[in-house]
């Protein structure tokens, strides 16, 4: 294909045609004559937008989810169904069964003994839907040597024996698991393109050089066609590397907050290398620790709070003064908001997944998925931000609702600058585009992934529905 002509598209509120060539938007105008060899698509008045960016997800976990047992309430409703699902699963080539998305609503809190009662003949590990906890059965506990493990996230009973619950111990666990083949991200790339997503930020912390190399190869091969930023690229990675390193990911685990001095030293180390920080915070104490640390170290443009699940009102002006960006996930409210409302004190309900109050204070705000731990579909996240409905029918602080236009704008902010003004179509801009089946006003009234007709990345078609 020597070029592409998209006729009769709605662009920034006006109807025009858009010519794409050599990976760029060449021009916008009337173009009554199609150029030789040029492919043509009739937009029929549908909105043509810059491609969407998911500013926080986990690519390897998304790929692994395909071959994992789904253990959440959307797939299994009780202990009997969970036992059946785990026992239907064929172990991988190393003999393991992997489950994901577990929620206590299915069968209550799980530990090794509880998992043994569900399946004990092979090593089994089940990840909590928060991503913060792995539960291992007794065979898995023995296989990874948890009895003698020294990681602080290994939960132990009164006798000092591991319970099978590992908190924020992914790196420790990964080192003790059989080596897995590097996953193809082709299916993930296709799924993202189907939603109109043309750029992503991988938020996996502390990626190994091997993992970075694999992500680079997936990108070079176009198995993952989306433009890519890595929060977990090792400190010291050249800022000009491809994929590019983003802000340095720091996890403030609610299961055990770090020492204040250690946190400030890590922030300083990243800032000295010219990298802002992207700090995981899901509780009020972790946010208070982060803000205090940044008060001491000073900020760097691009510093981010990831999740910001609980933001007390008094923290909002501090976030603004420190120049922080907030990358949050209101999709969690629609996915499992009942648990948030029931699991937090009533006085914190107004602090859950703030959106409107942050925008009101001119704090850069970007929405994202945290997939596979939250819903990947950006259109469902946009809907969640506008309604804030939780599955049981309640509304999580309606004062924090934002408009669908505001929510979409956050997905249209640049990969390297979440929450900044949205990208616009201009001659010479990258041809990372999404064509909707309807005008923008209609799409905002009823956000849906079904409206995505065409996704271009660098001028190449990666999703098309006629």
Average pLDDT value for the chain: 95
**pLDDT of res. 414:** 97
Residues of the chain within CATH 3.20.20.140 domain(s) are 247-422
80 neighbors 107 (Cβ within 8 angstroms): no
The angle that helices 260-272 and 284-297 make with each other, rounded to 10 degrees, is 50
**pLDDT of res. 440:** 98
**Spatial separation of the C-alpha atoms in residues 249 and 57, rounded to whole Å:** 12
- Structure tokens given for 284: 């009020």
- Structure tokens given for 432: 């990372």
**Spatial separation of the C-alpha atoms in residues 294 and 305, rounded to whole Å:** 11
Q: H/E/C letters for each residue in the chain?
A: CCEEEEEEEEECCEEEEEEEECCEEEEEECCCCCCCCEEEEECCCCEEEECEEEEEECHHHHHHHCCCEECCCCCCCCHHHHHHHHHHCCCCCCCCEEEEEECHHHHCCCCHHHHHCCCCCCCEEEEECCCCEEEECHHHHHHHCHHHCCCCCEEECCCCCEEEEEECCHHHHHHHCCCCCCCCCHHHHHHHHHCCEEEEEECCCCCCHHHHHHHHHHHHCCCCCCEEEECCCCCCCCCCCCCEECCEEEECCCCCCCCHHHHHHHHHHHHHCCCCEEEEECCHHHHHHHHHHHHHHCCCCCCEEEECCECCHHHHHHHHHCCCEEEECCHHHHHHHHHHHHHCCHHHHHHECCCHHHHHCCCCEEECCCCCCCCCCHHHHHHHHHHCECCCCCECCHHHCCCHHHHHHHHCCCCCCCCCCCCCCCCCCECCEEEECCCHHHHHHCCCHHHEEEEEECCEEEEECC
Q: Read off the pLDDT band of 163 (50, 70, 90).
A: very high
CATH number of 1-51+425-466: 2.30.40.10
For residue 352, the cross-strand partners are 310
pLDDT of 139 above 60 = yes
Among the listed residues 55, 70, 91, the one whose alpha carbon sits nearest the alpha carbon of residue 304? 55
pLDDT of 352 above 60 = yes
Fold that domain 247-422 belongs to in CATH: TIM Barrel (3.20.20)
The mean pLDDT of 230-248, rounded to a whole number, is: 95
- Of the listed ranges 5-9, 179-183, 254-258, 377-381, the least confidently predicted one is 179-183
**Spatial separation of the C-alpha atoms in residues 104 and 199, rounded to whole Å:** 33
Residues of the chain within CATH 3.10.310.70 domain(s) are 61-176
pLDDT in tens, 74-88: 899 999 999 999 999
- For 154, list phi and psi in degrees, rounded to 5: -75, 110
- Structure tokens given for 283: 């509780």
The mean pLDDT of 356-376, rounded to a whole number, is: 97
The mean pLDDT of 232-236, rounded to a whole number, is: 95
pLDDT of 1 above 70 = no
Confirm or reject CATH 3.10.310.70 for domain 61-176, answering yes or no. yes
40 neighbors 19 (Cβ within 8 angstroms): no
**Spatial separation of the C-alpha atoms in residues 369 and 375, rounded to whole Å:** 6
295 neighbors 322 (Cβ within 8 angstroms): yes
pLDDT of 400 above 60 = yes
237 vs 241, 248, 269, 300, 435, CA distance in Å? 7, 11, 13, 18, 36
**pLDDT of res. 343:** 86
255 neighbors 270 (Cβ within 8 angstroms): no
220 neighbors 96 (Cβ within 8 angstroms): no
Cβ-count burial 86-115 (b if 16+ within 10 Å, e if not)? beebeeeeeebbbbbbbbeebbeebbbebb
Taking the model in full, what pTM does it have?
0.89
pLDDT in tens, 273-300: 999 999 999 999 999 999 999 999 999 9
For residue 136, the cross-strand partners are 125
For residue 201, the cross-strand partners are 229
Q: Read off the pLDDT band of 253 (50, 70, 90).
A: confident
Among the listed residues 97, 105, 96, the one whose alpha carbon sits nearest the alpha carbon of residue 72? 105
The mean pLDDT of 131-153, rounded to a whole number, is: 94
């Amino acid at each position: 294909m020597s070029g592409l002509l998209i006729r009769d598209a709605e662009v920034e509120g006006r109807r025009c045609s858009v010519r794409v060539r050599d990976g760029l938007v060449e021009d916008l105008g009337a173009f009554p004559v199609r150029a030789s060899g040029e492919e043509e698509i009739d937009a029929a008045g549908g909105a043509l937008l810059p491609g969407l960016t998911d500013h926080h997800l986990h690519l390897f976990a998304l790929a692994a989810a395909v071959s994992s047992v789904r253990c959440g309430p959307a797939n299994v409703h009780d202990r009997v169904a969970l036992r059946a699902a785990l026992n239907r699963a064929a172990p991988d080539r190393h003999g393991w069964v992997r489950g994901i998305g577990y929620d206590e609503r299915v069968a209550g809190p799980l530990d090794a003994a509880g998992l043994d009662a569900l399946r004990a003949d092979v090593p089994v590990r089940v990840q909590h839907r928060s991503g913060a906890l792995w539960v291992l059965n007794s065979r898995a506990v023995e296989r990874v040597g948890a009895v003698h493990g020294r990681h602080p996230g290994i939960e132990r009973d009164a006798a000092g024996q591991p319970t099978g619950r590992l908190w924020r111990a992914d790196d420790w666990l990964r080192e003790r698991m059989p080596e897995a083949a590097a996953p193809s991200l082709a299916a993930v790339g296709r799924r993202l393109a189907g939603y109109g997503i043309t750029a992503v930020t991988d938020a996996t912390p502390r990626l190994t050089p091997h993992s970075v190399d694999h992500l680079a190869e997936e990108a070079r091969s176009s198995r993952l066609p989306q433009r890519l930023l890595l929060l977990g690229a090792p400190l010291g990675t050249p800022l000009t590397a491809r994929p590019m390193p983003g802000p340095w990911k720091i996890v403030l685990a609610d299961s055990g907050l770090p020492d204040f001095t250690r946190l400030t030293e890590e922030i300083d180390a990243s800032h000295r290398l010219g990298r802002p920080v992207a700090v995981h915070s899901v509780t009020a104490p972790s946010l208070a620790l982060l803000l205090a640390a940044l008060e001491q170290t000073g900020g760097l443009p691009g510093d981010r709070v990831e999740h910001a699940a609980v933001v007390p009102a008094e923290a909002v002006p501090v976030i603004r003064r420190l120049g922080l960006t907030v990358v949050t996930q209101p999709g969690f409210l629609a996915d499992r908001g009942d648990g948030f409302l029931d699991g937090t004190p009533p006085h914190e309900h107004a602090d859950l997944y703030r959106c409107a109050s942050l925008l009101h204070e001119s704090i850069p705000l970007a929405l994202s998925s945290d997939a596979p731990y939250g819903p990947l579909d950006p259109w469902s996240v946009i809907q969640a931000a506008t309604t804030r409905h939780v599955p049981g029918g309640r509304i999580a602080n309606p004062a924090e609702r934002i408009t669908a236009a505001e929510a979409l704008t956050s997905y249209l902010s640049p990969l390297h600058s979440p929450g900044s003004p949205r990208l616009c179509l201009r001659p010479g801009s990258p041809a990372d585009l999404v064509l909707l089946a309807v005008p923008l006003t209609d799409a905002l009234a009823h956000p849906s992934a079904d409206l995505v007709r065409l996704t271009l990345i660098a001028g190449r078609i990666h999703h098309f529905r006629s």
